[in-house]
Amino acid sequence: MGINYIDLDLFNPIQNISASRKQADIISTVEFNYSGDLLATGDKGGRVVIFQREQENKSRPHSRGEYNVYSTFQSHEPEFDYLKSLEIEEKINKIRWLPQQNAAHFLLSTNDKTIKLWKISERDKRAEGYNLKDEDGRLRDPFRITALRVPILKPMDLMVEASPRRIFANAHTYHINSISVNSDHETYLSADDLRINLWHLEITDRSFNIVDIKPANMEELTEVITAAEFHPHQCNVFVYSSSKGTIRLCDMRSSALCDRHSKFFEEPEDPSSRSFFSEIISSISDVKFSHSGRYMMSRDYLSVKVWDLNMESRPLETHQVHEYLRSKLCSLYENDCIFDKFECCWNGSDSAIMTGSYNNFFRMFDRDTRRDVTLEASRESSKPRASLKPRKVCTGGKRKKDEISVDSLDFNKKILHTAWHPADSVIAVAATNNLYIFQGKIN
């Protein structure tokens, strides 16, 4: 399926994967691997579930695109920090895949404090005919062994194993919000509220601190790091965003500690629109480089912005996600929704972007045609093979038949985590404890 042209109105659901209503089953991260054949989700209960895409089947022409459970494992367990008397949640904050080098797959998963490198491998053969062990695993009497046997491999039912290969711990005082694998495939970064560390994938007992914005006096703290990511092609370049709505691009060649940025991206604030909530809603919750590496995208509370790396003064594009909520900021502040952290993602050709909203709505923007659409991820609207109907929110006056009033939006239903297949028009949307997978129709 090509992605040169994207019709934003022609996405149809292919799956709705729902978990139970427990708090532990709320999905906290979604990530496709580099080929798009595997899709990983992490939840608040510390579990990672990996889905594998079905291959083309002539007898079932619609099966291509369906994702079935491939592996499920417990990545993190709840812990307790006795020195600080703090509980460490098992919730998976981020998952990042490593490029595939052999038959096995590797991914990094992190909770608030500890990052783990997992190997996911298949086994469809087992060895039989050992000299020192019986078939049931018991040791044989050495005096009864009269001949030397050569063990042989016999077919067995396919088994997918997930095993932890590295554990990177004790490097973050504050909660980890980002991990990003470098384009050199040897290192990765991890970021918390005040520091960014650089790790080597083979070394677990030490990391290098490359950004530290912690002031000598914590009372002078004015901003925190909200997200960080490596450039997709230049292994020395990374960006990090802040709660003040700024983005800093750093070059690791300039100094070991990148406290001085190379580029500083900030949009000047309009003084006439300043309010009590201005600083809160300008906080950037996610930043993502485009696949080409020429652009980057940032998400704040009300909008998503596309920046050209060669232009720091203002964004290239600004797309309003839910501007109709500006009049509701007071109530959103009271129920803490104003602090929700929405993520954003690019499609494979960087021609479209996607991000989430409330009422299980998600927004898609076509950068070429300047068209945008609001779609809903819900069981009622997600009938298999039927196109999703665009939704519209009525802000005032007479409401039309298909419109929904801004006053009737459900703020408990929110889409914070989305992912776009790296090559095809397939998207994954996490709506609380439901995972929806939609596929664009072939034009």
Please report whether residue 433 resides in a domain: yes
* φ, ψ for residue 35, nearest 5 deg: -90, -20
Residue 61 has pLDDT above 90, yes or no: no
Mean pLDDT of the chain, nearest integer: 89
Going by pLDDT thresholds of 50, 70 and 90, the confidence category of residue 2 is very low
Distances (CA, A) of 157 to 122, 160, 198, 249, 274: 10, 10, 40, 49, 63
- Amino acid 157: pLDDT: 78
Distances (CA, A) of 36 to 50, 222, 252, 420: 12, 39, 30, 9
| Extended strands (E) in 1-74 | 11-18, 27-32, 38-43, 47-53, 67-74
Q: What is the mean pLDDT of residues 137-149?
A: 80
Q: Identify whether the C-beta of residue 440 lies closer than 8 Å to the C-beta of residue 386.
A: no
Please report whether residue 338 resides in a domain: yes
Q: What is the mean pLDDT of residues 315-327?
A: 94
Please report whether residue 3 resides in a domain: no
Task: State the CATH number of the domain containing residue 44.
Answer: 2.130.10.10
How many domains is the chain partitioned into structurally?
1
Residue 384 has pLDDT above 80, yes or no: no
Beta bridge partners of 159: 123
Please report whether residue 165 resides in a domain: yes
Q: Which residue from 289, 240, 417 is spatially nearest to 342, judged by alpha carbons?
A: 417
Q: Which residue from 117, 119, 128, 173 is spatially nearest to 151, judged by alpha carbons?
A: 128
Residue 3 has pLDDT above 50, yes or no: no
Please report whether residue 1 resides in a domain: no
Residue with tokens 């006795």: 82
Which structural domain range is residue 310 located in? 8-440
> Per-residue pLDDT tens for 209-263?
999 999 999 999 999 999 999 999 999 999 999 999 999 999 999 888 888 889 9
Please report whether residue 403 resides in a domain: yes
